[in-house]
Homo-oligomer: A and B are copies of this chain.
Amino acid sequence: MTGVAFPIGRSFDFTAIGRLCIDLNANEINRPMEQTMTFTKYVGGSPANIAIGMSRLGHRTAFIGKIANDQMGRFIRGYLDKEGIDTRNVVDDRTGAVTGLAFTEIMSPTDCSILMYRDNVADLKLSPSEVDEELIASSKVLLVSGTALAASPSREAVLLAVDYARRHGTIVAFDLDYRPYTWKSEEETATYYNLVAEKSDILIGTREEFDCTEKFEHNPDRSDRYTASKWFGHSADIVIIKHGKEGSIAYSADGGEHRARSFPAKVVKTFGAGDSYAAGFLHGLMSGWTIGKSMEYGSAAACIVISSHSCSDAMPTVSQVDDYIEQCARGEITAN
């Protein structure tokens, strides 16, 4: 059993709240960005990627966010629409905010970095009164991206969205998604991460991200078991703690501890691994699979994305993930 009881009879399987951005991916890779002369444009942002992933995996998906009133914003809305994602609660900014940008630098498959433009971004201007309670009430899951807590009024919009989800029995999945820029201090991050984590059913983050939530705790050994137990004392059913190459561990409220199998991949870059993992894992959970099988599905989905040039564009469908798992089983895919 999964430990998560998703509500039934809802119009949407999955609604994400948070940033909608643009990735500008280097076309000439394996070099410093100084030597990259052309870039390709994609929709980006962790919750955007996960929503696109869930839609491709067959889930009825919606998004709550805010976009700039410019060509970048219109491109984002158009892309989501094309992917079949409901954008009724994607609001146009009217204050002259811009679209967040992420220029990628791929020095090598394992040495990737991002140059961010996060000043005056539209996504952080979503306000509480713009959050559609009815949409959350008609979704099985609300996925919250931690970055959306980094500044007001987006911070308050997310806190309200979580309250709406609790009020209507919508499952809250919290992807910690910590990005230091935008946050003023680690204390601030700890404060808001705790407020949302207390009310979340599913938590997903790296060990470092969970460390952020424990700034005012006493967990000197950085024990995953301690971390998970804390949240089981509040609302959590599942806590996934990711350890990079060492793999992820999922704890369940019934005391279970699960580790995923991993798959080989021809890695182009590491970006997008976490987002495709989250989509694959949640797909499994919502399909009624075991935690172990869901984690495996997430791993396979992640392998597909890191083997590609883009993140959002590479999010796989069910048949793509199934194929990948079978190809691995037949030994047709090996690591680079």
Q: Which residues of A contact B (CB under 8 A)?
A: 24, 27, 32-34, 36-41, 70-72, 74-75, 78, 98, 101, 103, 105, 115, 117, 119-120, 127-129, 133, 152-153, 156, 159-160, 163-164, 184-185, 187-188, 190-191, 194-195, 216
8 contacts between A and B (CB under 8 A): A34-B78, A72-B103, A98-B119, A119-B120, A127-B185, A133-B216, A152-B184, A195-B195
In the complex, what residues of B have CB within 8 A of residue A40's CB?
Answer: 37-38
State the CA gap A133–B215 with chains docked (Å): 13
Copies of the chain in the assembly? 4
Nearest Cβ distance between residue A185 and chain B, in whole angstroms?
7
State the CA gap A129–B189 with chains docked (Å): 13
In the complex, what residues of B have CB within 8 A of residue A115's CB?
Answer: 70-72
Nearest Cβ distance between residue A120 and chain B, in whole angstroms?
4
Which of B74, B120, B129 is within 8 Å of A34, CB to CB? B74
In the complex, what residues of B have CB within 8 A of residue A38's CB?
Answer: 27, 38-41
Q: Would B129 and A117 count as touching, CB distance under 8 A? A: no
Q: Would A128 and B216 count as touching, CB distance under 8 A? A: yes
Q: Would A187 and B127 count as touching, CB distance under 8 A? A: yes
In the complex, what residues of B have CB within 8 A of residue A78's CB?
Answer: 34
Nearest Cβ distance between residue A23 and chain B, in whole angstroms?
12
Q: 6 other contacts beyond A27-B38, A39-B39, with CB at 8 A cut-off?
A: A71-B115, A98-B117, A101-B117, A127-B187, A152-B184, A153-B187
Most chain B CB atoms below 10 A, which of A101, A156, A163:
A156
Check A71/B32 contact, CB under 8 A, given A37-B40, A39-B39: yes
In the complex, what residues of B have CB within 8 A of residue A41's CB?
Answer: 36-39
Which of B39, B70, B153 is within 8 Å of A24, CB to CB? B39
Q: Would B129 and A160 count as touching, CB distance under 8 A? A: no
Check A188/B156 contact, CB under 8 A, given A98-B119, A119-B98: yes
In the complex, what residues of B have CB within 8 A of residue A184's CB?
Answer: 152-153
Q: Would B34 and A163 count as touching, CB distance under 8 A? A: no
In the complex, what residues of B have CB within 8 A of residue A191's CB?
Answer: 128, 156, 159-160
State the CA gap A160–B213 with chains docked (Å): 12
State the CA gap A159–B189 with chains docked (Å): 12
Ranked 4 nearest A-B pairs via Cβ: A119-B119, A33-B71, A156-B191, A128-B187
State the CA gap A121–B128 with chains docked (Å): 27
State the CA gap A184–B152 with chains docked (Å): 10
Q: Would A185 and B34 count as touching, CB distance under 8 A? A: no
In the complex, what residues of B have CB within 8 A of residue A75's CB?
Answer: 33-34
Check A163/B216 contact, CB under 8 A, given A39-B41, A191-B156: yes
Q: Would B195 and A129 count as touching, CB distance under 8 A? A: no
Check A194/B163 contact, CB under 8 A, given A40-B38, A129-B187, A187-B127: yes
Q: Would A34 and B128 count as touching, CB distance under 8 A? A: no
In the complex, what residues of B have CB within 8 A of residue A74's CB?
Answer: 34
In the complex, what residues of B have CB within 8 A of residue A33's CB?
Answer: 71-72, 75
Nearest Cβ distance between residue A132 and chain B, in whole angstroms?
12
In the complex, what residues of B have CB within 8 A of residue A105's CB?
Answer: 71
